[in-house]
């Protein structure tokens, strides 16, 4: 790989501003709080930060309902605060990515307030409007991800408008050229400020089917959620017509053309479609997005077979683009609960970090993963997430992964001097940064060790990948960059594991990664619980492993 762009193989640390650090005592994190903690983030050894929305918003969906794309909500600070944040991050060697929510706005956005007034105003066609059916019902059967119909009646126009998410998040009509131009102008505002990249929320939702055809039903045995629970009615349909339309490809080309006018910036698209891996491959072809990620590893399936199969499937489809992998974010249950049974475990946390950061592609790491945080149990009366409130108790929403970052073990975890917007779990205070800083065996120290070590391994950052066919619980593959080939193997269980290797000798093992080390002996690979092997192979050894013949 000769492309030296910063984002290839980068580890991107996701910051959820509401829960990172509060500096004004209102119980909600803010931009000055991020500035205050940037030295900590830089000390993790990551390459970039991705900041979730901080724009002007009524906060119905906590910032993903934007009322002004070009301003900072007073809850988070000011534009001047953002400028200071950007300058400090760059001084620390951190790239800065920001969320852009392009497919929809808040119902409080000036564009929508004008559009809803009549059918003949200048913004009348800027949103997706449709007449009622003859019986007064919505135009078709499309459903909202947050439950119920994706259509909301507007009496001022005597029409329905489309909302793929909350009713207060109306969908923009990207078929209108003025809408595309206005959206791209908003993107340009932040690129001109000097951001290094954009994380594009729900980027495959920009266009809808102009014929408004019904989505076909999905059989019960196919209702596997990717970012939503299978008991959500949204899972009852194939979403062929309300998102992922072919017109989106031309828009991605327009977006890329704009970004190519700036030096070394990157677009990372969040993709959730009926075949997210195929869409990732399509959306990251030349002239479109730089990177794409999906919910494929944000599931409950923690097995070598599933991880290997997912990555191999994408590798077969993605012949041009660059993937980005994540196992946690602000929308899903924390990985130590999903994949670790909810028990705090520094060895497992470090194994998951190393496994994720050894796959081909870039990586998004959600705040708190470096501490090995588990999902918080937020009682119903303390819930803030409208998604969780609507689907309680079968689905408890996203608040459990959004609780405040624990900096100290005091009652508010050093997060705020006021009353935090979500409760601070006692079990998280026991995993506070201040405690882990002084514990050489902590998840935090293991995270830092691995990140420092990974930076010196070009094969892990930009090399290609070739999987070995292994039995559970071992995940093994080779990463190769030019003449440098690493054999990488992980034991996904807490018990010792062994696998055969078709090698006569023992390749030299790499040290310094901080994980429990395995060994290669007499044609066998021995791995302790949550252990790993990183070994350097010569050309002959690589060929033997690829062919299975000595």
Catalytically annotated residues: 201, 270
Residue (of 401, 454, 449, 452) closest to 428 by Cα position: 401
φ, ψ of residue 364 in degrees (nearest 5)? -110, 125
What residues form DSSP beta bridges with 237? 217
3-state secondary structure (DSSP) of residue 485: strand
Locate 210 and state its tokens.
């102009």
What does the DSSP 8-state code read for residue 220? G
Place of tokens 């012949």: 319
Cβ neighbourhood burial of 114 (10 Å; 0-12, 13-18, 19+): middle
Distance CA 451, CA 218 (A): 42
State how far the Cα of 404 lies from the Cα of 418, in Å rounded to an integer.
Answer: 12
d(CA 14, CA 18): 12
Six-digit token string for 420: 């935090």
Token reading at 382: 């303390």
Q: How far is CA 402 from CA 77, 332, 431, in A?
A: 20, 9, 16
Phi and psi angles of residue 446, each rounded to the nearest 5 degrees, phi first:
-65, -40
CA distance 323 to 293: 6
Tokens encoding 298: 């944000």
**Interhelix angle 79-91/31-43, nearest 10 degrees:** 10
Peptide bond into 473 cis (omega under 30): yes
Q: Record the tokens describing residue 491, joined without a space.
A: 């034991």
Strands annotated E in 21-136: 48-51, 55-56, 68-72, 95-100, 129-130
**Distance from C-alpha of 157 to C-alpha of 171, rounded to nearest angstrom:** 16
What do you get for the CA distance between the two ends of the chain, in Å? 28
Whether 376 and 403 have beta carbons less than 8 Å apart is answered as yes
Output DSSP code: residue 510. P
Compute the distance between CA of residue 405 and CA of residue 376 in angstroms, rounded to an integer: 11
Q: Is the dihedral of CA 415, 417, 422, 424 positive or negative?
A: positive
Of 480, 490, 539, give the one whose Cα is nearest residue 516. 490
Q: What is the DSSP letter of 142?
A: -
Phi then psi for 39, rounded to 5 degrees?
-60, -40
DSSP state letter for 458: H
- 504's CB contacts (< 8 A; 6+ apart) are 523, 550
Q: Among all chains, which residue has been given the structure tokens 């409760």?
A: 423
């Amino acid at each position: 790989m000769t492309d030296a762009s910063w984002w290839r193989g980068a580890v991107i640390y996701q910051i959820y501003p509401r829960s990172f650090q509060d500096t004004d005592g209102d119980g909600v994190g803010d931009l000055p709080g991020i500035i205050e903690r940037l030295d900590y983030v830089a000390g993790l050894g990551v390459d970039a930060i991705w900041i979730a929305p901080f724009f002007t918003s009524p906060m119905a969906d906590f910032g993903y309902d934007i009322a002004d794309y070009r301003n900072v909500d007073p809850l988070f600070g000011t534009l001047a605060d953002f400028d200071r944040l950007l300058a400090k991050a760059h001084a620390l060697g951190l790239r800065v990515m920001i969320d852009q929510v392009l497919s929809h706005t808040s119902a409080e956005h000036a564009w929508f307030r004008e559009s809803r007034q009549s059918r003949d105003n200048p913004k009348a066609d800027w949103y997706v409007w449709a007449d009622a059916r003859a019986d007064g019902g919505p135009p078709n059967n499309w459903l909202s991800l947050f439950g119920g119909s994706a259509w909301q009646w507007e009496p001022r126009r005597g029409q329905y408008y489309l909302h793929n998410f909350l009713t207060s998040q109306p969908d923009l009509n990207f078929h209108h050229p003025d809408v595309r131009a206005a959206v791209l102008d908003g993107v340009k505002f932040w690129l001109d400020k000097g951001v290094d990249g954009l994380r594009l929320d729900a980027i495959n939702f920009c266009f809808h089917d102009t014929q408004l055809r019904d989505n076909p039903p999905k059989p019960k045995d196919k209702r596997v959620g990717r970012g939503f629970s299978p008991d959500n009615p949204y899972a009852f349909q194939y979403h062929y017509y309300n998102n992922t339309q072919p017109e989106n490809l031309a828009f991605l080309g327009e977006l890329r053309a704009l970004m190519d006018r700036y030096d070394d910036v990157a677009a990372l698209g969040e993709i959730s479609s009926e075949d997210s891996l195929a869409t990732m491959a399509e959306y990251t072809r030349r002239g479109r997005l730089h990177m794409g990620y999906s919910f494929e590893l944000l599931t409950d399936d923690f097995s070598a077979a599933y991880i290997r199969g997912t990555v191999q499937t994408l590798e077969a489809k993605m012949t041009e683009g660059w993937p980005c992998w994540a196992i946690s974010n602000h929308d899903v249950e924390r990985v130590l609960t999903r994949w670790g049974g909810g028990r705090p475990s520094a060895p497992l946390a470090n194994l998951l970090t190393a496994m994720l950061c050894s796959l081909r592609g870039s990586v998004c790491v959600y705040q708190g993963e470096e501490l090995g945080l588990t999902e918080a149990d937020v009682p119903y009366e303390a819930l803030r997430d409208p998604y969780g409130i609507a689907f309680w108790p079968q689905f408890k929403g996203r608040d459990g992964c959004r609780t405040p970052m624990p900096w100290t073990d005091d009652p508010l975890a050093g997060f705020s001097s006021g009353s935090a917007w979500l409760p601070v779990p006692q079990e998280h205070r026991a995993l506070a940064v201040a405690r882990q800083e002084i514990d050489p065996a902590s998840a935090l120290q293991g995270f830092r060790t691995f990140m420092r070590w990974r930076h010196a391994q070009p094969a892990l950052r930009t090399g290609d990948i070739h999987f070995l066919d292994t039995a559970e619980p071992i995940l093994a593959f080779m990463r190769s960059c030019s003449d440098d080939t690493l054999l990488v193997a992980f034991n996904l269980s807490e018990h010792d594991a062994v696998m055969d290797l078709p090698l006569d000798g023992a390749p030299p093992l790499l040290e310094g990664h901080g994980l429990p080390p395995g060994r290669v002996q007499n044609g066998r690979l021995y791995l302790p619980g949550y252990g790993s092997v990183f070994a350097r192979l010569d050309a002959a050894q690589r060929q033997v492993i690829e062919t299975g013949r000595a």
